[in-house]
Amino acid sequence: MELVTISRLFSVAEADLTASRLESAGFTPFIHGADAALGCDGYSMATGGIQVKVPADQVGSAREFLAADPDHGGWEARFRAVYGRAMAVFRSGRCSAATLCDPADTTFLRDSGCTVQELYDFIEDAVDYGEPDFETVLEVQRIRRDWFLGPMRGEWTGTVVPMSELPAKTDAVDGIAWLPRLIVKARLKLRGEMPSDLMYGCGGDRPFLRRMGMTLPGFLELVRDRGEDDRAIVDAVKAFRHRSTSRD
């Protein structure tokens, strides 16, 4: 049976999700190169990356199926299911990051650029304070995942920045306290370098951003798009604050 590659992916989790979607639609997918190490360009040159293949007679219709709705039934649905299971575990009283997720869900999260500790923090605050809601968590993690699988090529840096290197909560720029610290937190979130006792979107971040007329996903996108240009980030936040207060 001749097999033809129809998708090349960054991670095993992505390949598994694509194969599951194809299988549920009646195709016969196969995954090749799942054990290949990622190279500096994202794929192992020797193997051509993690490949999802189907029999030659299914190629045309399988490609049309994937092109029709590339994210349908994919990562978002899997993340929603993992979040739901973790929430149920948390509510059952097994309240620690160590017991929150089983090995399969832990691997899925890591392949998406998320740690179990980060998920635990979101769920703990959702239960204790009623926020952030799932849709906010989903968008924050989507932004991190896109950065992780794109510019970072699915590779963790292996760096954890200690709390002592963060600006203090009282540090201010242009009279805005908390902002210098939050800028650094957002960069660490994008790079996956936060210590376990630091949370992007904590009980200090959320009210601060509301006062600025911004959201957790929106601020993360701003920091992503402005890179290391602190001045541009500060000016953008001030502009958001001005528009928010003008409406009030």
Q: How far is Cα 177 from Cα 20, in angstroms, rounded to an integer?
A: 47
Cis peptide before 55 (omega within 30 of 0): no
SS3 content of the chain, % helix, strand, coil (to 5): 55, 10, 35
pLDDT in the model for residue 1: 81
> In angstroms, what CA-CA distances link 53 with 4, 22, 98, 150, 153?
5, 10, 36, 22, 21
pLDDT in the model for residue 36: 56
Could you tell me whether strands 30-32 and 176-177 are parallel, antiparallel, or unpaired per DSSP bridges?
A: unpaired
Per-residue pLDDT tens digits for 15-39: 777 787 788 678 899 988 776 544 4
CA–centroid distance for 63 within its chain: 26
pLDDT in the model for residue 178: 98
Average pLDDT over residues 237-241: 95
Q: How far is Cα 234 from Cα 230, in angstroms, rounded to an integer?
A: 6
Per-residue pLDDT tens digits for 120-165: 999 999 999 999 999 999 999 999 998 888 788 889 999 999 999 9
pTM of the entire structure?
A: 0.72
Residue 74 is which amino acid?
G
pLDDT in the model for residue 10: 61
Q: How far is Cα 177 from Cα 47, in angstroms, rounded to an integer?
A: 50
pLDDT in the model for residue 73: 47
Q: How far is Cα 40 from Cα 115, in angstroms, rounded to an integer?
A: 23
pLDDT in the model for residue 26: 83
Per-residue pLDDT tens digits for 36-74: 544 433 444 344 567 889 999 999 888 887 776 555 447
19 near 52, Cβ under 8 Å? yes
Residue reference for tokens 């911004």: 214
With a cut of 80, say whether residue 217 has pLDDT above it. Answer: yes
pLDDT in the model for residue 207: 98
207 near 175, Cβ under 8 Å? no
Average pLDDT over residues 208-223: 96
Q: Give the residue extent of every domain in the chain.
A: 3-68, 74-156, 158-248
Average pLDDT over residues 75-102: 91
Per-residue pLDDT tens digits for 159-211: 999 999 999 999 999 999 999 999 999 999 999 999 999 999 999 999 999 99
Q: How far is Cα 112 from Cα 147, in angstroms, rounded to an integer?
A: 10
